[in-house]
Amino acid sequence: MIRILKIGFRVAAIFGCVTFIYLVVTFVQVWMASRRDDARPSDAIVVLGAAQYDGRPSSVLAARLDHAHTLYEEGIAPVIVVTGGRRTGDRFTEATAGATYLHQLGVPDSAILRETTGRSSWESLSASARILKQRNLTNVVLVSDPYHSARIKAIAGEVGLHAVTSPTRTSPIKGAAAWRRLGTETIRVAAGRIFGYRLLDRRRHVGRLVPGLAILERPYRRSPGVGHHHSGVV
């Protein structure tokens, strides 16, 4: 019995050590991806959704849209895909709020495609892939917050897009909040590589597949305002 306990302890210790190393390596990769801007001439720019308040983009979404507009003006791509659906009670989708904002910046409607159904990163990128593939467009630049880069690039590959990332540098998510997001993304990327991002999206919470990790699944919230507070990065 004692021998069995010793073997069990050693196996548990080895498993814990391997898991720790895996998470550390993944964290470094997520952090490095957050600091990298690989924007290059592509077919389209895809902006990941974030909160909107009755048609007005939150500061998080506005920062992403501003960066996408800059890339568009630089000639990186002739099309911008805005993504994100709406929650119960909302009058506008995140995509609609994003399109209106880009219009105000001078982007013509002919240069904007709308993905209006996604309620998570996987859903938005999967739907965007379908829209783009119908137009024979597969090379994209993904725009979101820095901490988000590693996961959305991996998801894009899973849904058949050839993607690079170009994160905004003006996001209001900074300091401790940004580091906490890096931690959350580390768990999601680590789990996504094992289980697949599609499966994780169906489960919606990493903690259901990896017990004890659900505490990292709290969405970023801004101060109360009109409209929902969905982060658009789940």
Q: What is the DSSP string of 34-82?
A: HT-----S-SEEEEPP--EETTEE-HHHHHHHHHHHHHHHTTS-S-EEE
Which domain CATH number covers 188?
3.40.50.620
For 113, 147, 156, 188, the CA distances from 166, given in Å and listed in that order, are 19, 11, 14, 20
Given this model, what pLDDT does residue 105 score?
A: 96
Averaged over 161-178, what is the pLDDT? 97
Q: Based on the structure, what is the number of domains in the chain? A: 1
Q: Which residue has the higher pLDDT, 210 or 60?
A: 60
Lowest mean pLDDT among 7-16, 107-116, 165-174, 178-187: 7-16
How many CB atoms lie under 10 A from the CB of residue 222? 15
Q: Reply yes or no on whether the pLDDT at 207 is more than 90.
A: no
3-class DSSP state of 142? strand
Given this model, what pLDDT does residue 215 score?
A: 41
Position 226: which residue type? V
Angstrom distance (rounded) from CA 200 to CA 139: 25
Given this model, what pLDDT does residue 210 score?
A: 54
Host domain of residue 96 = 1-234
Lowest mean pLDDT among 4-8, 191-195, 227-231: 227-231
Angstrom distance (rounded) from CA 20 to CA 77: 40
Given this model, what pLDDT does residue 221 score?
A: 40
